[in-house]
A = this chain, B = another copy of it.
Amino acid sequence: MPSLDSLFRPESVAIVGASPGKSGQMFLDSVLSSDFKGKVHAVNSAAQEVSGLAGYRSLLDIPGKVDYVVCCAPAPAVPQLVRDCAEKNVTAMAVFTAGFAESGTDRGKELEAEVSRLARASGVRVIGPNCLGIYSPGIGLAFASDFPLERGRVGLMCQSGGNFVYLVRAAAYRGVRFSKAISYGNACDVNECDLLEYFLEDEETDAVAVYMEGTKGGQRLSQVLRSLAAEKLVVVLKGGHSPAGARTAASHTGSLAGSDQVWDELLHQSGAIRVYSLEETVDMLVTLSFLPGVQGRKVCVLGGGGGASVLATDDWADYGFGLPPLAEVLRNELRSTVPTEAGLILGNPLDLSGLAYSDGFYNLSRKLVAMEGFVDLSVVHISLGMAFWSSASSFGEQIDAFRDAMIKIAGYSGRPLAVVMQYSVTGWDWQKGVEDIQRGCAAAGLPVYHSMSGAAKAVDRFLRYREAEARG
């Protein structure tokens, strides 16, 4: 079977079913507004002009070559379209259209089987049906206008279109960048095993995130996943792990979800990191993208709030991390600079509520984070309690000062540093402020988490993966 690499590098794209006002036009507009440099064509049965492009009545009417087709045509038209693709020497077609095996109807199952047969016979690779297809930042090809067009080192394969969009957006918003990504739906031709094998070979991909609901080949999946996880970091979210969830998965992508015990063994033996929610998946991608150098379980927590510091200590302890005490010399220095009445916890955790956003905070944090041999990871958190008297104008300045301090400290120390921020807690100004901090930190290569326990869980999973790897 030829490499799937050409799927991610088409030089010309055609959207079939690109009628004005329909989903095909939305696909078309997204591709037109992305950074794709190749030719883009529109096909619709009425040969109507759409988004400023001529509409071809048939794929076969397009002059010149077409590498990648996105199909938004009705399901019954899809088999003929595979034949047209073969005639036109199209490399791959992503079928957005649903109404195949996932519908549970005989007609849908037959259609899917036919598409699958035609794909195999012709060599045209079919992605889906019931999927969104390819997002390939390297060639500027995206199907939503807010997907980043910068290239990264994370591959993504996702059986659900909605979850694909969530993962790309949420991870991208926190600074993660992708090498190649694919939403692959019902997997009637290009399937999870093909994609895992592809990512194993792909030199542009260092880590792979997987959302899957089922497989048709457990034996092969087990082998491929094991090979991939031996070379690259793999994060797997299995949708439909409960019996009820497995039934829902069957109506979603027509997947045979299988028993969770079997999946758990398969994933565990493969060496992949198993996660259980979209949020955990994003936390893992943030961790492997921005904290690849974390070596151990000693953590220093600094930032705002006594009660927040107590709960933060619990969170790290719950996941097997320790907070080593601050050297006595540093405690003395702290005692001489911080007034006792401030009621701060001068140790590890270090509660700097009253000093946050100040030069004192910056200098102390810089010193602690940079200290060789003290901890493996420093975590700065900001808590709402600190900001409760701020006026709107000073709040904006504090946000800027905090963000800039974090970025400077990270640059100065070169040591692992993470930021934890509480979200969605109070009114608009605060919310916009924490988003500004996140954006700035993420752009500077700093991991941002939305809860302390989320950070601890992700770093723990990452370290357990590294420990297992070290044991061989």
Contacts and interface: CB of A to CB of B under 8 A. Distances in A.
Contacts of A385: 160-166
Interface in A304-320: 304-311, 313-318
Given A311-B163, A385-B166, A343 B422 contact: no
Given A97-B341, A252-B345, A313-B248, A307 B75 contact: no
A418 B248 CA distance: 21
Nearest to A452: B277
A240 B313 contact: yes
B424 A428 contact: no
A307 B242 contact: no
B426 A423 contact: no
Contacts of A75: 340-341
Given A75-B340, A314-B241, A248 B427 contact: no
Interface string A20-54: 00010010011000000000000000000000000
A420 to B, nearest CB: 12
A74 B341 CA distance: 7
Interface residues of A, number: 95
A251 B345 contact: yes
Contact of A162 (B158, B241, B315, B386): B386
Interface in A234-277: 239-245, 247-249, 251-253, 277
A253 B306 contact: yes
A389 B245 contact: no
A72 B172 CA distance: 45
Interface in A151-192: 158-166, 169-170, 172-173
Contacts of A344: 98
